[in-house]
A and B are shown apart, each in its own frame.
Chain A
Amino acid sequence: MSNIGSYEERTQYFNWDIAKDILDWKEGELLNIGAICSDRICNRGDGKKTALIWEGFGDKSARYTFDDLRVYSNGFAKFLSEQGIEPGDRVCLFMDKIPSLYFSFLGVLKMGAIAQPLFSAFGDESLEVRLASAGTRAIFTTRKHVRKVRKIKDRLPNLEKIIVVEGNPDKLKEGEIFFDVENSPRVEEFDVYHSSPETPSVLHYTSGTTGQPKGALHVHNSIWGQALTTSWVLDLKDDDIYWCTADPGWVTGTSYGIIGPWALGATQCVLDSGFTSSRWYKFIQDNRITVWYSAPTAIRALMKDGNELVGDFDLSSLRNLASVGEPLNAEAVIWSGEVFDGLQFHDTFWQTETGAMMITNYPGMEIRPGSMGKPFPGIKAAVLDLDTHEPIDEAGKVGLIAFRPGWPSMFRQYWKQPDTYRSKFVGASENAMPDELRTNPDLWYVSGDRASIDKDGYYWFVGRDDDVINTGGHLVGPFEIESALVEHEAIAEAAAVGKPDKVNMEVVKAFVTLKPGFEPSDDLELDIMNFIRKRLSPLAMPQEIEYRDKLPKTRSGKIVRRYLRAIEWGEDVGDMSSLSDE
């Protein structure tokens, strides 16, 4: 029997307090994500239960109990307090998926600060933009990544504390602090910050079409959405061994790689190693993983390596598979059923802003390969007409995916950008502030994605409603790439769009014009690719660069990305009468 049981009954008799019942949480208890995921599990008698099974590259491995989680997160919390970090301060976590990343995340929350996890593959420019935006006061990082922080720290006046959590302390530069929690005195007691439901918890940066990335701010109350969806969709039970493959630098890695599973007291696995199919299968086999939450890009990469390889491993422990990040194509769903003994991946749809799953496939419900599934109980979803923004009743008609505000894990603001936040709501009054918007049940929060609904209520993803590039399940903003491209000495103008890719759904393609004195060449293309990889991230690196004499522009001089994108996707370019003849 699955945790959700009947989807229809759950939908009919739903309220969010069910999440509190599942955790046996009573009104008046401490509502702090850091404590709920560690102290509370120990208090209920599960301190000795394994919380984290970690493997790194080579033979590195470690196991930690919930009591370890409690003590090490206390250690980070105490350390930050002693460094003068205050509740509400932003503390960046910039490291690979090492155990200290998980301990520090909980520690930051325990002392009332806001955790700002960032993908460790970000280059120094991507890092700087996000730290400057958030006014980050402290950063936890590693020997490997502190170099990027050194390059930018002089331009970040708010960044007071640079803390390296592993490696050789003798290699630190002046002003840097070393803190290795596992080799520091154990901190058995810490007075956890008494957060309210609306106390900020996590700040995740996400990309948009225009401007630099925006910080989506979440609060401690989000835990109810994350815990309940983990229970009902991922179907985690006490004896499960769970693996979420996402990096906590992205929202999946915190919502479902930390908060959801540990709120329930589940044992989870982390593999901090580069991707190869055989390594992943071996990890599942060796750890007897039962529930696996991954991404379409990874699933398609596994498919590419063939069915024969799967047979080399004993994957019989698996019992529930789910996927997130981008639409999971029907072929991948069918393939998983064939190679994993009838188990099909359950696609789940949500985004950084929603904080938790919104439209998903459920255990026990018929999977229609290629469909996103149905709205989570308690979520009021619709697709809105592209012009009128009224909900569409007609089956199969494409519109904008939208949700009525008010679910617990909804983002509370874009960091210091109230106008941008307001622009995400249909029906908002001109001066409405974030608190009014997120609680007004008459508005629609518009996700930025398009879909249709079939006659049985299943949602079917169509595509983005903007120019944001979804590559390997990560959103990359074209503006950020274009801004970096024109910093290259050879480039005069640039446009970045997504182009189709069999594994990553989309990859970045750049169109550029060159400055006088530069000629197109393969070597220049490679130089530009590496320039972006190092400045921004490997995700943002164009995998193809097309040289042009000029770029398509409107008469007012704005580059028309949609024209270039349409050509890449073989779509109708639409009305181009507004293009300049220049």
Chain B
Amino acid sequence: MSSSFNESAEHMDVEYVAQLARLHLTPEERTLYQRQLDQILGYVDELKAVDVEGVEPMAHPMPRTNVLRRDECGTRGDREAVLANAPSVRHHQFVVPKIVE
């Protein structure tokens, strides 16, 4: 496993991030995304210039709290419709590559 993600790095470790997201990148893609992501990080770096002394971190841009629903059940979904999107189905379950050896 490569070095862990470092938020303050100027260069993002594209290979590591791709691995976490299970993305397979060609060498060309890696170079391209490296440049693009570094540009984004550079832009985010500009925000560091802002003085945030005494400012509470914001959890959400909308000034609303307590959006809750009552504990009630809705109508049951259609299982066949749900499973129709799966590449592979067995015993009414989604089939995925074997996870444990």
Chains A and B belong together in one complex = no
Q: What residues make up the interface of A, taking CB atoms closer than 8 Å to B?
A: none
